[in-house]
Amino acid sequence: MINQYPLWKNLLVALVLLTGLLYALPNLYGEDPALQISSVRGAQVDEAIEDRLKVLLQEAGITYKATELSPGTMLVRFGDTETQLKAQGLVKRDLGDDYIVALNLAQTTPAWLRAINAQPMYLGLDLRGGVHFLLEVDMDAVVHQTEERYVEDLRAALRTEKVRYLSVARHVQGGVEVKFRSAEDAVQAEKIVRKEFPELVVNVAGDAGAPAIKVQISEDQLREVRRFAVQQNVTTLRNRVNELGVAEPVIQQQGDSRIVVQLPGVQDTARAKEILGATATLEFRMVDEQSSVQDAVAGRVPVKSRLYKTRAGEPVLLQKRLIITGDSITNAASTIDQRDGSPAVSINLDGKGARSMHNTTKDNVGKLMAVVYIENKTETRYVDGEPVKTKKRIEEVINQAVIREPFSARFQITGLDSSEEARTLALLLRAGALSAPIDIIEERTVGPSLGQDNIDQGKLAAIIGLVVVMIFMVIYYQVFGLIANMALVLNVVLLMAVMSMLQATLTMPGIAGIVLTVGMAVDANVLIFERIREELRNGNTPQASIHSGYERALSAIADANLTTLIAAMLLFMFGTGPVKGFAVTLSIGILTSMFTALMVSRAVVNLLYGGRKVQKLAV
């Protein structure tokens, strides 16, 4: 009999709708302003810290809703944003630089929904807010690093040309100073430098008794170095944000030395802050086993070596000659050392790094090689209530191992404190090291006031559009109009469910896409109902008219939606930022509207009219 779905199809429609309702439900629950406390490497977030902060907040008269302790982090929920901001300053001053205290918005989704992984969709920076960082590249460090590279390059060039020199070192006032035994060597070196390094400015320094030349980077080269440093940091930050899985981030240069990073819908702001600001990288050096560590500690460090310390504070003497740095690492993944079960990082090198590693390990079988962990960080201390920032460079030996046999492109490092540190280090190495240290000079969480205004206005526009369309449909199509309205509401529910399941980010342009989807969903029903009316006017029976209406309107609906879907996909592929947000909701809305207009409304019509004689249709 026509106009009857088989049982399996009715059950499929019911299952899809039930799943959609469940996964759209978390969007009805709000969020609590919260502080997220996480530890810097080595610090502990435990019950003692939880009790300490409870006492601190109570003594300050700050009311909090609840505290939640999980491995490595603690969440403190508040009733409003004003209290949250007041508590942030207090907790930051009390905990100091051993902890990251970040603003967050914590979900209030019930546990039974979280158990099936039902989460609300992310809201963009213009709706929910999110985190806005303003980063500044340390240009002094850029120049310093560039001059240090030229120190090694100048040494290599002079050795190649067999020019004798006393020392090549960075000058305290900038530039590189090269000292010689004789004036003839200085003149010859000057010619070599001018020929091999045209981007450098060479000046004669010293006197007849101590001939020297001073090499400085030209202004044009300095501008290029600074520009490249900012662009490389933008690329690296984008890679790191991609690793974090943030949807629709904004990462762009501002001025000559600043970078704007906006992370809409981010859940773990502390994690984002830690990853963005970190400058961790690795250096591989041979251990100086010929010299005395005790002599080096006493101040007698060999010329070709340098004194480092392990994480335990023990001195280690390493050769100055670098084998490879983190720049040669093409891939890194956290793993477990099969020998003792300790955390490790598996490393892959590029061709140049692999050759250097192979040549070094081939010539040094049975000797010790060390891995140096390097991190630049900015510490904030409060002096008389005012924040004072100081820069700190951490260099520590995390691993010393005997080279058992030559290796090149693939190996692993151990000596890490925890699996979390292994994952973080692997992420930083995989995303790339920052070319220069960056400071977070502004951290702003877009408050819910602006976001809530946008949400309210967007909701109002969507509701008004929905109500007007629903009233028109009921007046014009009667009972069939009611069926279309039900399908319309279910379409919005399914759209929200799919976006929640995909953890897509909803922005203001995305709300515009939802409003447009509402109109398009009704358009499909209008085509069907007008076809049914036409069939009735042609003298067909109600049952035949329903069947023909749905069957014959299918091709027109499919064609119209397919062309719109192609346009939406092109917008997503070639658009950026808000355009992508509009394209995402439009694409999902097209698919859900076709399901509700063709499957859901047809199922309801079949239940009302299928399998029985009908004299007249209320259409």
> Which range has the top average pLDDT, 6-15, 150-159, 198-207, 250-259?
6-15
Residue 186's SS3 state is helix
Mean pLDDT across the chain? 81
Output the pLDDT for position 534. 87
For residue 276, being part of any structural domain is answered with no
pLDDT, tens digit (0-9, with 9 covering 90-100), for 397-431? 887 888 888 888 888 877 676 777 677 667 666 65
Q: What is the DSSP letter of 504?
A: P
The residue with tokens 């979390």 is: 420
Q: Where are the beta strands (DSSP E) in 265-358?
A: 281-287, 305-309, 315-325, 329-336, 343-349
Say yes or no: 363 and 502 in one domain.
no
Token reading at 260: 């704007």
Of 382-386, 482-486, 508-512, 550-554, minimum mean pLDDT range? 382-386
Residue 540's SS3 state is coil
CATH code of 157's domain: 3.30.1360
Rounded to whole angstroms, the maximal C-alpha distance in the chain is: 117
Say yes or no: 18 and 58 in one domain.
no
Distance, CA of 161 to CA of 195 (rounded, Å)? 12
Output the pLDDT for position 286. 92
Centre a 10 Å sphere on the Cβ of residue 532 and count the other Cβ atoms it contains: 26
Say yes or no: 490 and 527 in one domain.
yes
pLDDT, mean of residues 171-195: 85
Say yes or no: 301 and 421 in one domain.
yes
Distance, CA of 366 to CA of 194 (rounded, Å)? 43
Q: Are 304 and 320 in contact (CB under 8 A)?
A: yes
Output the pLDDT for position 321. 86
Between these two residues, 569 and 125, which has the higher pLDDT value?
A: 569
Between these two residues, 183 and 451, which has the higher pLDDT value?
A: 183
Q: Are 325 and 434 in contact (CB under 8 A)?
A: no
Say yes or no: 401 and 304 in one domain.
yes
Token reading at 165: 């020199």
Residues 6+ apart with CB under 8 A from 468: none
For residue 587, being part of any structural domain is answered with yes
**Closest Cα to residue 323, out of 348, 286, 290, 366?**
286
For residue 383, being part of any structural domain is answered with yes
Between these two residues, 128 and 587, which has the higher pLDDT value?
A: 587
Say yes or no: 91 and 183 in one domain.
no
pLDDT above 70 for 354: yes
- pLDDT grade for 576, boundaries at 50, 70 and 90: low
**Closest Cα to residue 84, out of 109, 72, 101?**
101
pLDDT above 80 for 43: no
Output the pLDDT for position 280. 62
Say yes or no: 398 and 463 in one domain.
no
Centre a 10 Å sphere on the Cβ of residue 584 and count the other Cβ atoms it contains: 24
Output the pLDDT for position 448. 47
- For residue 136, list its beta bridge partners: 258, 439
For residue 129, being part of any structural domain is answered with no
For residue 115, being part of any structural domain is answered with no
pLDDT, tens digit (0-9, with 9 covering 90-100), for 487-506? 888 988 999 899 888 877 77
Given 218, 235, 268, which residue is the final one in a domain?
218
Residue 15's SS3 state is helix
pLDDT, tens digit (0-9, with 9 covering 90-100), for 290-344? 888 888 888 888 888 999 998 778 999 999 888 888 777 777 777 887 777 788 8
**Closest Cα to residue 254, out of 288, 231, 232?**
231
**Closest Cα to residue 426, out of 371, 346, 369, 350?**
346
Say yes or no: 424 and 500 in one domain.
no
Domain extent for 152: 140-218
Say yes or no: 605 and 463 in one domain.
yes
For residue 50, being part of any structural domain is answered with yes
Of 296-310, 376-390, 512-526, minimum mean pLDDT range? 376-390
Say yes or no: 518 and 394 in one domain.
no
Share of the chain above pLDDT 70, in %: 85
- For residue 381, list its beta bridge partners: 388
The residue with tokens 């029985």 is: 612
pLDDT, mean of residues 19-38: 86
Q: How many domains are contained in the chain?
A: 4
Distance, CA of 435 to CA of 231 (rounded, Å)? 9
Share of the chain above pLDDT 90, in %: 6
Say yes or no: 474 and 548 in one domain.
yes
pLDDT, mean of residues 267-283: 66
pLDDT above 90 for 264: no
Given 59, 84, 108, which residue is the final one in a domain?
108
Task: Give the burial class of 334: count Cβ atoms within 10 A of its Cβ; 0-12 exposed, 13-18 middle, 19 or more buried.
Answer: buried
pLDDT above 80 for 467: yes
pLDDT, tens digit (0-9, with 9 covering 90-100), for 47-80? 888 889 999 999 889 999 988 888 777 889 998 8
CATH code of 484's domain: 1.20.1640.10
CATH code of 311's domain: 3.30.1360.200
Between these two residues, 296 and 443, which has the higher pLDDT value?
A: 296
pLDDT, mean of residues 138-166: 83
pLDDT above 60 for 151: yes
Say yes or no: 418 and 492 in one domain.
no
Output the pLDDT for position 497. 92
pLDDT, tens digit (0-9, with 9 covering 90-100), for 198-250? 888 888 876 667 788 888 888 888 888 888 888 878 877 877 676 555 555 77
